[in-house]
Amino acid sequence: MPTLAGDIVGQRRWYWPAFAAPGLIWLVLLFLTPFYAIMAVAFGGIDQIFAAPVPAWNPADWSFSNFGGVLERLVGGDLEPVFFRTVGYIVISVALCIAIGYPVAYFIARHAGRRKVLLLTLMIAPFWMSYLMRMLAWVNLLNNDPGDPGLVNELLMATPFFDSPINFATGEVARITVIFGLIYGYIPFFILPLYAGLDRIDKAQLEASRDLGASPRSSFLRVTLPLSKQGILAGSVIIMLPMFGDYYTPTLLAPTPSTTLIGNQIQQMIGSTGQGPNGASLTLMLSAFVAVLMLYYLLSVARATRASQQ
């Protein structure tokens, strides 16, 4: 192999890899191998007496009976509505995140002026607040205890339309509550990459479009919007990934069967006896489903990194 530019002559080939080795070994042992464990358990069996999973570490021993069973439940079985609900909630949440978040990111990137640092700080703050803390805040606000209703119910009851507190955790309202919770929880993670994308847009390009006679509307639609497409996509993907694995938002805000997500199913299965292989199978299916999103994101990050290195 030819010597790459920048290699220092006389340096041994293992010198730099040696720095990376401990971290890489760690990730192989505690990230890659555990992922293989999901497959081994999903394609393994169950102990007849203790109902404990018996993982099949050797691919030659893999049996697909558990996996097939879960797949049947997912396609046309009892898990199908859960799957579609998860996808539906995520699509609605992401769409609303774009609708709510785009104007915010746009304003801060383009028009914030001397308040930019303040606005950025306030925009980033929720990013670093624990998700659980932020959900706890809403559990308090949405409380429907008649003797001690939360602030939202107090405000509603101050209007002439409500005379008793609404239970946000059951019935039809529960769906809205969970979607609301997802939006509230993940929108900061959407706005941040979008802001970064919008902030990178060269103002000269906008001026050029104006000079060439474009109306503000068309210069937004034909310059700003196309240039921020990457940011919208990156932001959407980065919030969809954790949303697919979310189980705590419904549990905290509205724990009813009508808001059960795939994440809730996985968490229940993994925790109960005899369900290990089923839980592992469902996790595997979820991973396959989000793999496309993950690869898209990683490739776009790799492209951006390469661009910034040059």
Partner 1 sequence: MSVTIGLERLAARPGVGIRFRNALTNPWGRPRFLRIWTWIYIVWSIAPVVIAVQFSFNAGRSRSTFQGFSLQWYEAIFRTASENFDETLLEALRNSLKLAGLTVPVATILGVGLAIGLARWRSRGSSPANFLMLFPLVTPEIVMGVSLFLIFTQLYGVGLGIPAMLLGHITFSISYVVIVVRGRLFAIGREYEEAAMDLGASSAGALRRVLVPLLAPAVFASAFIVFAISIDDFVISAFLCVQDCTTIPIKIYSAARNAGSPGLNAIASIMMFSSLLAITAAVLIQRVFIKRQEGGGRSAVEDFARFEI
Kindly identify the residues of this chain, within the stretch 231-270, that bind partner 1 according to CB under 8 A.
234, 238, 241-242, 244-248, 251-252, 255, 263, 266-267, 270
**Contact by Cβ (8 Å): 69, 76:** no
The residue from 60, 121, 226, 307 that contacts partner 1 (CB under 8 A) is 121
Footprint of partner 1 on 148-177 (CB under 8 A): 148-151, 154
CB of 201 to partner 1, least distance (A): 13
Q: Which of 30, 60, 158, 212 binds partner 1 (CB under 8 A)?
A: 30
**Nearest distance from C-beta of residue 160 to partner 1, angstroms:** 21
The nearer residue to partner 1, 76 or 146, going by C-beta atoms, is 146
Comparison of 76 and 309: residue with beta carbon closer to partner 1: 309
Task: Indicate whether 31 belongs to the interface with partner 1 (CB under 8 A).
Answer: yes
Count CB-CB contacts under 10 A for residue 47: 12
Which one of 111, 222, 229, 303 is in contact with partner 1 (CB under 8 A)? 111
Which residues on neighbouring strands pair with residue 54, listed in sequence order?
45
Span near partner 1 by CB under 8 A; candidates 61-69, 72-80, 96-104, 156-164: 96-104
Q: Which of 74, 82, 97, 108 binds partner 1 (CB under 8 A)?
A: 108
Interface with partner 1, residue 55, by CB under 8 A? yes
- What interhelical angle do 131-141 and 171-200 show, nearest 10? 140
Q: Are 42 and 67 in contact (CB under 8 A)?
A: yes
Least distance in angstroms from the C-beta of 81 to partner 1: 19
CB of 70 to partner 1, least distance (A): 14
Binding mask 182-201 for partner 1 (x = CB under 8 A): --x--xx---xx-xx--x--
Q: Which is nearer to partner 1, 76 or 256 (CB)?
A: 256
Minimum distance of partner 1 from residue 65's CB (angstroms):
18
- CA 100, 103, 107: angle at the middle one, nearest 5? 140
Q: Does 91 bind partner 1 (CB under 8 A)?
A: no
Binding mask 199-218 for partner 1 (x = CB under 8 A): x------x---x----xxx-
| Nearest-approach distance from CB 99 to partner 1, in angstroms | 11
Residue of 49, 60, 133, 307 that binds partner 1 (CB under 8 A): 133
- Evaluated on CA atoms 183, 189, 193, 196, the torsion sign reads positive
Q: Which of residues 290-309 bind partner 1 (CB under 8 A)?
A: 290, 293-294, 297-298, 301-302, 304, 308-309
Q: How far is the CB of 102 from partner 1 (least distance, A)?
A: 10
Q: Which is nearer to partner 1, 76 or 82 (CB)?
A: 82
Task: State both tokens at 10.
Answer: 């006389």
CA proximity to 150, closest of 158, 142, 139, 161: 142
